[in-house]
Amino acid sequence: MTASAQSLPKRELRGVYITTTSGLDWPKSYDAAEQQQSLREMILSMREANLNAIFFQVRARGDAYYRSAYEPWAENLTGTLGKNPGWDPLAFVIQHAHDAGMEVHAWFNVYKIRGAGPPAASSPHHPARAFPDWVVRYEDEQWFDPGEPEVTDYILTVLRDLAQHYDLDGICFDFIRYPGRDFPDRTTYRKFGRGLTLDEWRQENINDFVRRAYNELLRVNPMLKVGAAPLGNFGGALSAQPNTKIAAGAVSDFLQNSRSWLKNGWLDYLAPQVYWTLEFETRGPDFAYLTNSWMKDSGGRHIYVSIGAYRPEILAQLPDQIISSRKLKTSGQVFFRYENVASTDFRTSYPALAIPPSMPWKDSIPPLAPTNPQVMQKADRTVQLQWRQPARARDGDEARFYAVYRFDSPQFNTNNPGFLLGRTSQTNFTDTNAEASRPLYYVVTAFDKGNNESSPLLLKTHQ
């Protein structure tokens, strides 16, 4: 890495959605060894592209790609709903992603739980089979009724189980809305409407889930990053630009008032699905216009703009959309989906590593700096660095990983990502591209679970 990346942000989330629904991104085989090898290759390719976050779909349609106490193993894993694949995909992703210096967010579909067909018998039962009274069919799909209080209680139980048993960095909600205004829930409304209008009641049902989920999950893990991927066109026709037509809006057509979730402090981030191009379209506003509108209503929390790389015309614009999102001061980008960007060359947009931004409303106390620096010239152009893990900080946090920078002089600037060589969870690092003819200066900093960075530890080669 060189200083040529100086104009790029050091703090930026760069994520990819790995879609397990119908095996779109994964799995492509029922063989466990082939599945594991495929995940290894995906994680390695993302790491080599300087991406730093995986949004792994753990609950696609009321099923599980992890060891759930309440829902069956996904049919895509073995060909049989509920059959144990003999290994744990989510645990595997977490281990290998963390080893590669990447975050893992569990992508969790909330209310959409099944396609048209009935689920097979399994143990545990699929929720559409276990709780048929909560299920509403809508356009050949099966949805949980958000107005049924027991639905919220059940999903919270599933989420607590997930958060308690996995070392997740985040959880990202999707399909956290109604499927349409003509959703047939009048019976539930008459029973639980509490005098609200239908629209008010529906919005409050979703809001109540978000509020309770955030509180419940933070009780399990206060540093868990809880977010959602809402529809990208928030206000429908109300947010339209001149000469554009908008078919649907999140609030007006799907009762998804996601911006209130950030303003009220019920989530840490949103990853709105801004799946439009940079030009005006007949069916919606452009990417920059919508992204800017999300930033204006961020409530001081993070916006990771989701980019619709599944559309060829957007895939061709990825570098420009990344530039646009940076100009608008978003906290990062998430690409939908892995298969669509697997062959993308990110070297222009991401020539250097980046660290996901911290969340000071959760934790603003940095870890202590590493100690006991040691530098060893192992061979030509190879330098071995070692240090000692610091004591816990005053808030009890320990170092979770370390960043290593290399400079030509003791006047260093760790805000320039061009000097960031790498990150590691170990207390050593090998630089295999060191110029042996002159002194080199290395800086090591510690990061905690909240991505807060310590003061620097300076190391110098002996020349």
- Tell me, what CATH number does 229's domain have? 3.20.20.80
Tokens 């509180």: give the residue.
Answer: 215
pTM: 0.95
Domain of residue 406, CATH code: 2.60.40.10
Same domain? For 329 and 420 the reply is no
SS3 label, residue 270: strand
Same domain? For 111 and 220 the reply is yes
408 inside domain:
yes
- Which residues fall within 8 angstroms of residue 215, CB to CB, at 6 or more apart? none
Query: Which of 323, 341, 359 is the last residue before a domain boundary?
Result: 341
152 inside domain:
yes
Same domain? For 331 and 392 the reply is no
Same domain? For 333 and 375 the reply is no
Task: Give the count of beta carbons closer than 10 Å to the beta carbon of residue 124.
Answer: 15
Same domain? For 56 and 189 the reply is yes
Same domain? For 325 and 448 the reply is no
**H or E segment and range at residue 156:** helix 149-165
**Between the CA of residue 422 and those of 253, 302, 352, 426, 459, what are the distances in Å?**
45, 24, 9, 12, 15
Same domain? For 27 and 140 the reply is yes
Strands (E), 147-250: 170-174, 225-228
Same domain? For 81 and 159 the reply is yes
Same domain? For 376 and 296 the reply is no
Query: Exposure of 116 by Cβ count < 10 A (0-12 exposed, 13-18 middle, 19+ buried)?
Result: exposed
Q: Give the tokens for residue 238.
A: 């109300």
Q: Give the tokens for residue 75.
A: 């049919």
SS3 label, residue 412: coil
334 inside domain:
yes
How many structural domains does the chain have?
2
290 inside domain:
yes
Same domain? For 43 and 178 the reply is yes
Range of the domain at 412: 371-460
317 inside domain:
yes
- Which residues fall within 8 angstroms of residue 324, CB to CB, at 6 or more apart? 278, 287, 288, 291
Same domain? For 394 and 287 the reply is no
Is residue 423 within 8 Å of residue 399, measured between CB atoms?
Answer: no
What string of pLDDT tens digits covers the 463 residues of the chain? 443 555 799 999 999 999 999 999 999 999 999 999 999 999 999 999 999 999 999 999 999 999 999 999 999 999 999 999 999 999 999 999 999 999 999 999 999 999 999 999 999 999 999 999 999 999 999 999 999 999 999 999 999 999 999 999 999 999 999 999 999 999 999 999 999 999 999 999 999 999 999 999 999 999 999 999 999 999 754 344 554 555 578 999 999 999 999 999 999 999 999 999 997 555 557 899 999 999 999 999 999 999 999 999 999 999 999 999 999 999 999 999 999 999 999 999 999 999 999 999 999 999 999 999 999 987 778 999 999 999 999 999 999 999 999 999 999 999 999 999 999 999 999 999 987 778 899 999 999 999 999 999 999 886 5
Same domain? For 333 and 381 the reply is no
351 inside domain:
no
